[in-house]
Amino acid sequence: MKIKLYSLIALIAGVASFASCINKEESAEAVYARDVAAIEDYIQNSSLTNVKEYNDPTYGIRIIWQEVSGSGIPVELGDTLRVDYTGKLLSNKVFDSSIESVARDNNIYSSGREYIPLRFRIGLGALIFGFEYGVAQMEQGDKATIFIPSGSGYGRNPNGEIPANSPLIFEMDLIEVVAGPTE
């Protein structure tokens, strides 16, 4: 029941997020089509291990699992998650990571940052829609790569090293799911 509520919240957030990616030259539909094609091209030309796959037809979010834990501990609305992640552009340029060695290897290391798994409560909208939506499809212990069209990411708004209308890739390791409130 919780996950159905999350789907409704996700739909509302996704529509708002998707609508925000419109710029003066391209319609939201054109950006979405371009993003989905670019993601497909990336996947077809990668050597990504694929043990399970999910493709959301509404948002174009693709999830490819590298490891399925079989833990039986799903993500539900209100749960608190701990996730190690690396965020990249389709060019493979890493823009963020919770893993110190990855940050150092990609010249994005910051001595003022603590490199630990991201801890957040799912469904509060504190993170971009595609990140929360993708991790919500996983179970504790799963490792997956999530491909996010720009409308479910930062849309037309550049963010740091992320240009406007950029599809994103997040390599995720869902370390822990702590049950949230049951109401």
Which pLDDT score is estimated for 181? 81
Compute the average pLDDT of residues 34-54. Answer: 96
Using one digit for the tens of pLDDT, what is the confidence trace for 115-165?
999 999 999 999 999 999 999 999 999 999 999 999 999 999 999 999 999
Which pLDDT score is estimated for 118? 98
**For the chain, how many residues are written?**
183
What residues are annotated to the active site?
Answer: 85, 95-96, 128, 154, 170
Compute the average pLDDT of residues 24-41. Answer: 91
Using one digit for the tens of pLDDT, what is the confidence trace for 66-121?
999 999 999 999 999 999 999 999 999 999 999 999 999 999 999 999 999 999 99
Please report the domains of the chain, with CATH numbers, ordered by start residue: 2-178 (3.10.50.40)
CB atoms under 10 Å from CB of 93, counted, come to 13
In what helix (H) or strand (E) does residue 147 lie, and over which residues does it extend?
Answer: strand 143-148
Report, in angstroms and rounded to the nearest whole number, the Rg of the chain calculated over CA atoms: 16
Q: In DSSP terms, which residues pair with 89 in a beta bridge?
A: 168
| 1, burial (CB in 10 Å: exposed 0-12, middle 13-18, buried 19+) | exposed
Helices (H) and strands (E) in the chain, counts: 4, 7
Print burial letters for 22-57: b (CB count within 10 Å at least 16), e (below 16): beeeeebeebbeebbebbeebbeeeeeeeeeeeebe
Which pLDDT score is estimated for 8? 41
- Residue 25 banded pLDDT, cuts 50, 70, 90: low
